[in-house]
Chains A and B, each alone.
Chain A
Amino acid sequence: MGDEGMKIAVTAVGEGMDAQVDPRFGRAAYFALVETETMAYEAVENGNVAAAGGAGINAAKAVIDAGAQAVLTGNCGPNAERTLRAGKVKLYTGVEGTVAAAVEQFKAGALTEATGPSVDSHAGMGG
């Protein structure tokens, strides 16, 4: 990791750094936006949870617009992955534990960047 901090987005089932990482991306309950240098934290509720289609795309766009340069999540479907890639956002899947622990793993360089989507389309649909 570089010396300067960056803003990253971690999917979360609830608010706060102690919340568990949400295994879904497009329909994750919250996005935890964290500045890695200062550990400044902002929780953004995900408006796409009940969306029929386009949830992953809209969530990816929201994360990009928020200035995140990396996403940490359990899984990510193909539409969201494609959108994040277009926005040059690095994707890390298979992330588990609390938001705080995930951020620490990221800072320590312990996470491996994903090479593609981790699940098929719509896998997180239906709650």
Chain B
Amino acid sequence: MVVAVASGKGGTGKTTVATNLAKLCAEAGRTVQYLDCDVEEPNGHIFLKPEVAEREDVTVEVPEVDEAACVGCGQCGEICQYGAIVAIGEKVLTFEPLCHSCAGCWLICPVGAIQAKALKIGVLERGAAGELGFVGGRLEIGHVRTPAMIGRVKECIEPGALAIVDVPPGTSCPVVAALRGADLVLLVTEPTPFGLNDLKLAVALVRELGLPFGVVINRDGIGNDETEGYCRAEGIDIVAKLPDDRRIAEAYSTGAMIVDAVRECRDRFGAIRDYVEAAWRVT
């Protein structure tokens, strides 16, 4: 089963929920994997402190032109929507960071002068934190192929395991890449105007994707009750409410796991685990 932990707004507690949920489920005896799909700013490793067993380069395909074979027809440059390959007279220039790997240029070349070659965009790490499996992706600075990196991380999902996917903030295409194929989505929010505004965007997205979801309200009490009102009016499950507790903030700041550092919170995370287990029984 794949559970994605997402949020419209950044900083609401996705990684806190994803890592602590993963730990509780692993403690209960499940085979659990945590996958960090926030490949631009991955944080899961800070809390889970995994032992990394494998590190591999993640690559995407970009064009490589055989100048000797090129006849200067320019069709490669014409089909490219991204400015990644350009024909200037008989010279063909490639601009690899702009390439979307659509394969248009190497498919269209009438003389087979273009091949695909690998371009490194980041690194994939695989390991474990005790019994908990860990997969993390890290995009290199200056590269922008976030969805491709996320796709690679998700290829490591093991069927039969409980896979908890930590999704980047927002609602644009990296989030879609991370959410696709999830069996259940947990939307983490905070009960403030910014939080509610962004939650509505996230709800619209998961509904568009047709994914079942519930909401976790973090830092309960800091704002107003409009978020709760919205969830109730929309018939959205409020899975759990996590308290606004300075001890949690302080523990988080040091990279501690909340279920260990502030044990009173175990019940709340336990409620999230119960919700996930109940959903699993249904699928």
Contact = CB atoms under 8 A, between A and B. Distances in A.
Indicate whether A and B are direct neighbours in the complex (CB within 8 Å): yes
A54 B84 contact: yes
A2 B86 CA distance: 30
A87 B86 CA distance: 11
A65 to B, nearest CB: 9
B82 interface: yes
Contacts of B91: 86-87
Contacts of A83: 86, 88, 93
A64 interface: yes
B86 A61 contact: yes
Contact of A86 (B82, B83, B93, B98): B93
A57 B89 contact: no
A125 to B, nearest CB: 13
Contact of A54 (B88, B89, B95): B95
B93 A82 contact: yes
A98 interface: no
Contacts of B93: 57, 82-83, 86
Contacts of B98: 53-54, 57
Interface of B is mostly: mixed
Interface in A16-55: 51, 53-55
Interface in B65-90: 77, 82-84, 86, 88-89
Contacts of B89: 86-87
A58 interface: yes
A64 B88 CA distance: 8
Contacts of A54: 82-84, 95, 98
Contact of B88 (A51, A53, A61, A79): A61
Interface in B191-238: none
A83 B93 CA distance: 7
Contact of B95 (A51, A57, A64, A87): A57
A53 B82 contact: yes
Given A53-B95, A57-B98, A86-B91, 10 more contacts: A51-B83, A54-B83, A54-B95, A55-B83, A57-B83, A57-B95, A61-B77, A61-B86, A64-B88, A86-B89
Interface pairs A-B: 9 shortest CB-CB: A54-B83, A86-B88, A57-B83, A87-B88, A86-B91, A53-B98, A57-B86, A86-B93, A54-B98
